[in-house]
Amino acid sequence: MPANPAPLRILQPDDWHLHLRDGASLAAVVGATARIFARAIVMPNLKPPVTTVAAARAYRDRIVAALPPDASFVPLMTLYLTETLAAAEIERARDSGFVHAIKYYPAGATTNSESGVTAIERAYPALEAMERAGVVLCVHGEVTDPDVDVFDRERVFIERHLSGVVARFPELRIVVEHLTTRDGVDFVRACGPHVAATLTPQHLLYSRNALFGGGFLRPHVYCLPVLKRETHRQALVAAATSGSPKFFLGTDSAPHARGAKENACGCAGCYSAPSALELYAEVFEGAGALDKLEGFASLHGPDFYRLPRNTGHVTLSRRDHVVPAELPFGDTTIVPLRAGETLRWQATLGSDPIFQPPPGN
């Protein structure tokens, strides 16, 4: 690898797993994603959750209204799966043209998941309707059984629940969100082409050691599913950089105010949106696989979701820059992933490496 490689030009990427929140928080973060990404699958875990097509339409309109004036960003909406989601609503989602997936949260697994599914069997009628309608299921794949070790929640979910869902609904397209384990990678690889996974920057960059770096508790790398052992991280990097169309970019950028993270009961979620593509570039460069970045970031996702690929481009240039220590977030602040640290890559929209400072600088 040369010390200063030539700028890399790739088709404009999409983010297939994003939290944008609402109100002032939405206004504070949406520009960071729209700076680089053409589209994003927007998670429905608002309070209350987005459970109807009408609510998704209203949320989409609020997102579009909050965009910076020059942005051309398309939010791809999702519904929050509940045990009572009706087949008629699933059909409405398919026909809407703007709802692209339905998200399964096990009740109590993560932020705003109280209304989630208490036992996946209870959602089988909805899954059957989704299989019939051709609507994608996005899965937060963790058990919430308190007897299961927190680091084993994904593996046990796959063994106890997800393998059964895949067998029972063979035509259902499933994205296993924010995959964190070697077991998860092996499972997704072994399934047919209708099962894929998103991978986040934090799970590709960090093992669970990062949670305790230097002997301190590091709330800004605390997310769910929690970071895992180094061997799992290596399996995720191998999957991301393999060129397999089953693995694609989903940041799970999940903004929480600084005070909600730096707290005795700190919230889960990493805010990666301001530097997301740059962070992935670092991972791919580290693996000697920059030539695989475009597939992961810009091709596999739209192909799986059966949406057109983007036509614009982004350029990644090798240019050191420091991530802001914090950014405005409504009437408070937010700490982005890698705050205060130097990143090697800088992404800009378009084909030429013209400098655009990241938001907040």
Provide the 10 A C-beta neighbour count for residue 318.
17
CB of 103 to ligand NCD, least distance (A): 9
Each residue 287-326 as x (binds ligand NCD by CB under 6 A) or -, in order, gives ----------------------------------------
Q: Which one of ligand NCD, Zn ion, none interacts with residue 298, CB within 5 to 8 A by kind?
A: none
CA 57, 63, 68, 71 torsion: positive or negative? negative
Each residue 44-73 as x (binds ligand NCD by CB under 6 A) or -, in order, gives -x----------------------------
202 touching ligand NCD, by CB under 6 A: no
Q: Are 13 and 249 in contact (CB under 8 A)?
A: yes
**Looking at beta carbons, which pairs linking 66-71 to residues 24 or more positions away fall under 8 Å?**
66/26, 66/27, 66/30, 67/30, 67/31, 67/34, 68/30, 68/31, 68/34, 71/31, 71/34, 71/35
Indicate the pairing of strand 8-11 with strand 313-322: antiparallel
Closer to ligand NCD by Cβ: residue 111 or 310 = 111
Residues between 261 and 280 that touch ligand NCD (CB under 6 A): 268-269
Instruction: Give the residue at shortest CB distance from Zn ion.
Output: 252
- Active-site residue (options: 252, 303, 320, 331): 252
Indicate the pairing of strand 39-42 with strand 327-329: unpaired
Closest CA to 282 of 204, 185, 177: 204
Among 196, 254, 290, 337, binds ligand NCD (CB under 6 A): 254
Each residue 223-252 as x (binds ligand NCD by CB under 6 A) or -, in order, gives xx---------------------------x
Q: Are 125 and 87 in contact (CB under 8 A)?
A: yes
Q: Are 196 and 304 in contact (CB under 8 A)?
A: yes
CA atoms within 13 A on the CB side of 268: 12
CB of 1 to ligand NCD, least distance (A): 32
Six-digit token pair at 219?
């709330």
Decide if 252 is catalytic.
yes
* Footprint on this chain of Zn ion (rule: CB under 5 A): 252
Residues between 134 and 163 that touch ligand NCD (CB under 6 A): 140
Closer to Zn ion by Cβ: residue 89 or 252 = 252
Closer to ligand NCD by Cβ: residue 100 or 140 = 140
Closer to Zn ion by Cβ: residue 252 or 285 = 252
> DSSP letters of 36-75?
T-SEEEE----SS---SHHHHHHHHHHHHHHS-TT---EE
Q: Which one of Zn ion, ligand NCD, none interacts with residue 269, CB within 5 to 8 A by kind?
A: ligand NCD
Q: Are 196 and 246 in contact (CB under 8 A)?
A: yes
Q: Which one of Zn ion, ligand NCD, none interacts with residue 133, CB within 5 to 8 A by kind?
A: none
Torsion of Cα atoms, 149 then 152 then 157 then 163, to 10°: -150
- Write out the catalytic residue numbers: 252
Residues that bind ligand NCD (CB under 6 A): 19, 45, 110-111, 140, 223-224, 252, 254, 268-269
